[in-house]
Structure 1
Amino acid sequence: MAVGAQTDHVDVLIVGAGPAGLMMATWLAKCGVKTRIVDKRGTKVFNGQADGLQCRTLEIFDSFGFAHRAWIESNHMLEISLWNPDEKGVLRRSSRIPDTIPGISRFQQVVLHQGRIERFFLDAINEFSEGKVSVERGVIPTSLEIDEKTVEDPEAYPITVNLRHLSEEEARPKQTATSVNGTVIQDGLFRSNLSPDDTAEMIKAAELNQKADTVEIVKAKYMLGADGAHSWVRKELGFKLEGESTDYIWGVLDIVPITDFPDIRMRCAIHSANSGSVMVIPRENKLVRLYIQLTTTEKIGDQDSRADRSWITPDVILESAQRIMAPYKLSYRKLDWWTAYQIGQRVGSSFSAHERVFLAGDAVHTHSPKAGQGMNVSMQDSFNLGWKIATVVKGLANRSILKTYESERKGIAKALIDFDHKFSRLFSGRPAKDIMDEEGISMDKFKEAFEKGNMFASGIAVDYGRSNIVSKPDPDNEASKAAKLQALASEVKLGMRIPSVKVLNQSDARPWHLQELLRSNGTWRVIVFPGNIDLEGQKKRMNSLCDKLSGPSSFLKRFTPPSARYDSVIEVLTVHAAKRQDHEIFDFPEVLRPYDEVDGWDYNKIFADDQSYHEGYGRLYETFGISPDQGCVVILRPDQYVSYIGELDDYESLDGFFSGFLIPQGETKEPKA
Structure 2
Amino acid sequence: MDSRDPTIECVDVLVVGGGPVGLITAYQLARNLPSPHKIKIIEKQPKSAQDQYGRAITLFPRSSEMLDQLGLADSLAQQCFACRDTVNYDKDGNESPGRGWSFMENMKDTKWDFALVLRQKYQEEIFRQALKRHGVELNTPFALIDIEVLENVGPNGYKVLATIENTTTKVKSIVKCKYLIGADGGRSSVRNTMEIPFDGSTSEDKWVRVDGVIETDLPKPRTYCAIESPTHGNVLWAALDHGATRIGFAFTAERQKAYPNFDEEAAVKEAIASVKPFNLSFKQVDWWTIYAVGQRIARSFLVKDCVFLAGDACHTHSSGAAQGMNTGMHDSVNLGWKLSLVLQGLAKPDLLHTYEAERLPNVQRLINYDKDISRLMTMQLPENWAGDPNADPNEVLGVVMAEAATFSSGLGIYYEPDSLLSIASSSGLTSVQPGQRAPDVVLQKPATFEATRLQTETPNIARFYIVLFAGDVAQTKSSLAAFSQSVEDMQWLHDCSNPISWISIFSVAGGPSAYETVGGMPFGKVLYDEDHSAHKRYGVDVGRGAVIILRPDGWIGTVTQLGSGAAQAVGSYFKKFLTLNGVSKV
**Matched-pair contact (CA < 8 Å) for 2:158–2:176:** yes
- In the TM superposition, what is the alpha-carbon distance from 1:409 to its structure 2 partner? 0.7
Structure 1, unaligned stretches of length 5 or more? 168-211, 298-308, 474-481, 562-567, 594-604, 611-616
**Matched-pair contact (CA < 8 Å) for 2:250–2:377:** no
- 2:400 paired with 1:449: yes
Question: Which of 425, 428, 431 matches 1:487?
Answer: 428
Structure 2 Cα separation of the partners of residues 274 and 252 of structure 1: 16
Name the SS of the counterpart of 1:316 in structure 2.
Answer: helix
* Amino acid corresponding to residue 406 of structure 1 in structure 2: E
* Counterpart mapping for 1:184-199 below 5 A: none
Q: Over residues 597-618 of structure 1, what are the superposed CA-to-partner deviations in whole Å (9 max), with x where a residue is unaligned?
A: xxxxxxxx101101xxxxxx57
Question: Which of 298, 306, 312 matches 1:348?
Answer: 298
**Matched-pair contact (CA < 8 Å) for 2:68–2:74:** yes
Structure 2 Cα separation of the partners of residues 139 and 489 of structure 1: 50
**Matched-pair contact (CA < 8 Å) for 2:494–2:500:** no
Q: Which moved more, 1:12-21 or 1:309-318?
A: 309-318
Structure 2 Cα separation of the partners of residues 93 and 214 of structure 1: 58
Once the two structures are aligned, what percentage of the paired residues are identical?
27
- 2:545 paired with 1:541: no
Question: Which of 462, 465, 487 matches 1:525?
Answer: 465
Question: Which of 467, 485, 499 matches 2:439?
Answer: 499
Q: Say what the alpha-carbon RMSD is for the aligned residues.
A: 2.6
Name the SS of the counterpart of 1:257 in structure 2.
Answer: strand
* Amino acid corresponding to residue 213 of structure 1 in structure 2: K
Name the SS of the counterpart of 1:95 in structure 2.
Answer: coil
Task: Tell me the residue number matched to 1:117.
Answer: 123
Aligned residues: 565
Q: Over residues 60-84 of structure 1, what are the superposed CA-to-partner deviations in whole Å (9 max), with x where a residue is unaligned?
A: 1211222122112111211221222
Structure 2 Cα separation of the partners of residues 442 and 359 of structure 1: 35
Task: Tell me the residue number matched to 2:577.
Answer: 661
- In the TM superposition, what is the alpha-carbon distance from 1:379 to its structure 2 partner? 1.5
Task: Tell me the residue number matched to 2:411.
Answer: 460
Task: Report the CA distance shift for 1:664/1:333 in structure 2 as closer, same or farther (over 3 A).
Answer: closer
* Amino acid corresponding to residue 340 of structure 2 in structure 1: A
* Amino acid corresponding to residue 444 of structure 1 in structure 2: E
- In the TM superposition, what is the alpha-carbon distance from 1:274 to its structure 2 partner? 4.0
Structure 2 Cα separation of the partners of residues 667 and 247 of structure 1: 59
Task: Tell me the residue number matched to 2:38.
Answer: 34
Structure 2, unaligned stretches of length 5 or more? 382-386
Name the SS of the counterpart of 2:96 in structure 1.
Answer: strand
- In the TM superposition, what is the alpha-carbon distance from 1:582 to its structure 2 partner? 7.7
Q: Which moved more, 1:341-350 or 1:626-635?
A: 341-350
- In the TM superposition, what is the alpha-carbon distance from 1:236 to its structure 2 partner? 1.2
Structure 1 Cα separation of the partners of residues 537 and 79 of structure 2: 32
Structure 2 Cα separation of the partners of residues 216 and 590 of structure 1: 57
Structure 1 Cα separation of the partners of residues 472 and 584 of structure 2: 43
**Matched-pair contact (CA < 8 Å) for 2:61–2:107:** no
- In the TM superposition, what is the alpha-carbon distance from 1:245 to its structure 2 partner? 4.0
Question: Which of 135, 138, 143 matches 2:141?
Answer: 138
Task: Tell me the residue number matched to 1:285.
Answer: 242
Q: Over residues 224-249 of structure 1, what are the superposed CA-to-partner deviations in whole Å (9 max), with x where a residue is unaligned?
A: 00010000100111112111342532
Q: Over residues 326-357 of structure 1, what are the superposed CA-to-partner deviations in whole Å (9 max), with x where a residue is unaligned?
A: 23211112111112222311111111102210
Task: Tell me the residue number matched to 1:148.
Answer: 151
- 2:529 paired with 1:609: yes
**Matched-pair contact (CA < 8 Å) for 1:162–1:218:** yes
Name the SS of the counterpart of 1:145 in structure 2.
Answer: strand
Structure 2 Cα separation of the partners of residues 310 and 548 of structure 1: 76
- 2:161 paired with 1:220: no
* Amino acid corresponding to residue 17 of structure 1 in structure 2: G
- In the TM superposition, what is the alpha-carbon distance from 1:398 to its structure 2 partner? 0.4
Task: Report the CA distance shift for 1:149/1:230 in structure 2 as closer, same or farther (over 3 A).
Answer: same
**Matched-pair contact (CA < 8 Å) for 1:91–1:325:** no
Task: Tell me the residue number matched to 2:310.
Answer: 360
Question: Which of 496, 502, 512 matches 1:572?
Answer: 502
Task: Report the CA distance shift for 1:416/1:247 in structure 2 as closer, same or farther (over 3 A).
Answer: farther
**Matched-pair contact (CA < 8 Å) for 1:100–1:109:** no
- 2:337 paired with 1:387: yes
Q: Over residues 38-93 of structure 1, what are the superposed CA-to-partner deviations in whole Å (9 max), with x where a residue is unaligned?
A: 110111424222110110111112112221221121112112212223xxxx3322
Task: Tell me the residue number matched to 2:511.
Answer: 581
- 2:438 paired with 1:438: no
Name the SS of the counterpart of 1:421 in structure 2.
Answer: helix
- In the TM superposition, what is the alpha-carbon distance from 1:450 to its structure 2 partner? 2.2
**Matched-pair contact (CA < 8 Å) for 2:472–2:506:** yes
Q: Over residues 576-599 of structure 1, what are the superposed CA-to-partner deviations in whole Å (9 max), with x where a residue is unaligned?
A: 112223863354554624xxxxxx
Name the SS of the counterpart of 2:53 in structure 1.
Answer: coil
Q: Which moved more, 1:399-408 or 1:502-511?
A: 502-511
Task: Tell me the residue number matched to 1:256.
Answer: 213
**Matched-pair contact (CA < 8 Å) for 1:343–1:366:** no
Task: Tell me the residue number matched to 2:561.
Answer: 647
Structure 2 Cα separation of the partners of residues 70 and 41 of structure 1: 23
Name the SS of the counterpart of 1:639 in structure 2.
Answer: coil
* Amino acid corresponding to residue 166 of structure 1 in structure 2: T
Q: Which moved more, 1:26-35 or 1:444-453?
A: 444-453
**Matched-pair contact (CA < 8 Å) for 1:78–1:98:** no
- In the TM superposition, what is the alpha-carbon distance from 1:137 to its structure 2 partner? 0.9
- In the TM superposition, what is the alpha-carbon distance from 1:288 to its structure 2 partner? 0.7
**Matched-pair contact (CA < 8 Å) for 2:11–2:39:** yes
Task: Tell me the residue number matched to 1:52.
Answer: 58
**Matched-pair contact (CA < 8 Å) for 1:501–1:618:** no
Task: Report the CA distance shift for 1:8/1:621 in structure 2 as closer, same or farther (over 3 A).
Answer: same
Q: Over residues 161-192 of structure 1, what are the superposed CA-to-partner deviations in whole Å (9 max), with x where a residue is unaligned?
A: 1122221xxxxxxxxxxxxxxxxxxxxxxxxx
* Amino acid corresponding to residue 104 of structure 1 in structure 2: D
**Matched-pair contact (CA < 8 Å) for 2:149–2:161:** yes
Structure 1 Cα separation of the partners of residues 519 and 142 of structure 2: 55
* Counterpart mapping for 1:27-426 below 5 A: 27-32=28-33, 33-43=37-47, 44-85=50-91, 90-95=92-97, 97=102, 99-107=104-112, 108-127=114-133, 129=134, 132-150=135-153, 153-167=154-168, 212-295=169-252, 311-426=261-376
What TM-score do you get using the length of structure 1 for normalisation? Answer: 0.79
